[in-house]
Amino acid sequence: MKRVNETVVLQSITVNSIIDQILMLWKFIKPPLVVPLLRLMVIICLVMSVMLFVERVYMGIVKLFIMLLRRKPEKNYKWEAMQAEDLELGSSAYPMVLVQIPMYNEKEVYQLSIGAACGLSWPSDRIIVQDMVEVECAKWANKGVNIKYEIRDNRNGYKAGALKEGLKHSYVSQCDFVAIFDADFQPEPDFLMRTVPFFVHNHDIGLVQARWKFANADECLMTRMQEMSLNYHFSVEQEVGSQTCAFFGFNGTAGVWRLKTLNEAGGWKDRTTVEDMDLAVRASLKGWKFVFVRDIEVISELPSTFKAFRYQQHRWSCGPSNLFKKMAFEIATSKKVTLWKRLYVLYSFFLVRKVVAHIVTFAFYCVVLPLTVLVPEVEVPLWGVVYIPSVITILNAIETPRSLHLVVFWVVFENVMAMHRTKATIIGLLEIGRVNEWVVTEKLGDALKPKASNTVPLLSSAPVKKSGWTIWERLNGLEMIAGVFLLFCGSYDFFYGKNYFFIYILLQAIAFFVVGLGYVGTFVPK
């Protein structure tokens, strides 16, 4: 027993000596190295915060004027409805439209999108639907729909490769416009009747983009958070870009392209994972105008599992930063567009929204701010840590008034996702690692099905059910590590600190732990 006690004492002495040495090293390097470095990081983060703040306030002011002046695309551009009586006189007055439905292993939803596309109100001899499911093509062809079964024997170029391959067929030369819908998107029958007139009467318009509407927004807390972010994207970012510079990033679906625009811009390219944005930027540099129509909504499905959402966000963050790197010089030296438009695309669209917004959200609020708790010599001004983020949050949340009571959850969840977005942004800028990774976003299709019991289901196959994962399969390591770091900083501030950030830091730590344990998709909000 005596020897055991001696061993415990020796171990205790050893541990204490190691802790003492760490504390001595910390006291030694803190004044000359840690404090100046952290102060520099605070300054950089404050500058980025101001950049993001000015951008959000500017867009908020423009959005307010759009609402007060009731500026709608139908008023800004010439728009006349296609005359119904033309159907009796003949369909030649209607331009030829190609509808593409690119998909890959999306059997849970393909029947819905194909059915919606084949149900578009348009003369049957003036529309061609291009699809990759042979059985569905045969079914709709028997109903008189001009539908073509097209499939590739490889996945080269992923979605861009599929769309590019689809345009190589001889019958495409007959078409004037191409409408694109992802596998989970269901356009209303009047979609073409409301979008094509913009092209017919305005020959400088190259793209008309509709808004997304989410069938499963109420499925869980994670889908509600996505709805808040995407509502801001469409209601503010897309509309402000459309109204001020006639430019915004194509969303890859629920839009119509003029084929002349698409060809003039160089067609689809697979050099990044955002082939839609790539095409939009190149077309804009050719002088084409884009129109966003907020009143046209297309039903779609939000990712309802964290794994699917994380892969989607990696693609949506890595691709734009990589495209920014590839096209910055080309944008800056373009001669066909005004200096204002070039500055808007380079600074506002790419630098602030696609790079700064992700990095400052994670670096400032999840790393730098908690570190200042451990280094009280470094102070963060109140305007940088309270006023600016509060204004940004309000401007974002106000676009989804039904979820205003969930704004705190949105803030902490967005900060968690900012970690993945920052990582993806850096990968894209440096062009390393998973820069060209493409994972198809998982679709479940349940929310898109008819709910009435007397309605015949559109899907014949059984719905995909979420697997009952074990805790180890759910576990997300990076989130757990970040949660431990934030918990330590928050606890230190509670017991020893003087910054009083511990409430926010501990809330953020809880958010990281919830996501890290894989339970973010299980909470259903009221």
Each of the 526 residues of the chain gets a pLDDT tens digit; together they read: 555 555 555 556 676 778 778 778 878 888 889 999 999 999 999 999 999 999 999 999 999 999 999 999 999 999 998 876 554 556 778 999 999 998 776 666 678 888 899 999 999 899 999 977 777 788 888 888 888 877 776 777 788 888 998 999 999 999 999 999 998 899 999 999 999 999 999 999 999 999 999 999 999 999 999 999 999 999 999 999 999 999 999 999 999 999 999 999 999 999 999 999 999 999 999 999 999 999 999 999 999 888 889 999 999 999 999 999 999 999 999 989 999 999 999 999 999 999 999 999 999 999 999 999 999 899 999 999 999 999 999 999 999 999 999 999 999 999 999 999 999 999 999 999 888 887 777 766 655 555 544 333 333 333 344 444 556 667 888 999 999 999 999 998 888 877 678 899 999 999 999 998 877 766 666 6
Give the pLDDT score at 523.
Answer: 67
pTM of the model: 0.89
**Cα 497 from Cα 372, distance rounded (Å):** 10
Which of 37, 55, 35 shows the shortest CA–CA distance to 47?
Answer: 55
Instruction: Identify whether the C-beta of residue 82 lies closer than 8 Å to the C-beta of residue 193.
Output: yes
Locate all alpha helices (DSSP H) within 30-72, ordered by sequence: 35-69
Within a 13 Å sphere around the CA of 375, how many CA atoms are in the beta-carbon half? 24
Nearest to 380 by CA among 369, 366, 365: 369
Q: Give residue 291's pLDDT.
A: 98
Residue 349 DSSP label: I
- Bridge partners, 179 (sequence order): 99, 256
Q: Is 516 exposed, middle or buried (0-12, 13-18, 19+ CB in 10 A)?
A: buried
Checking DSSP bridges between strand 255-258 and strand 205-214, what pairing results, if any?
Answer: antiparallel
Per-residue model confidence (pLDDT) at position 141: 84
- Biggest CA–CA distance in the chain, Å, is 107
Q: What is the pLDDT of residue 87?
A: 47
Provide the token pair at 44.
């950089």
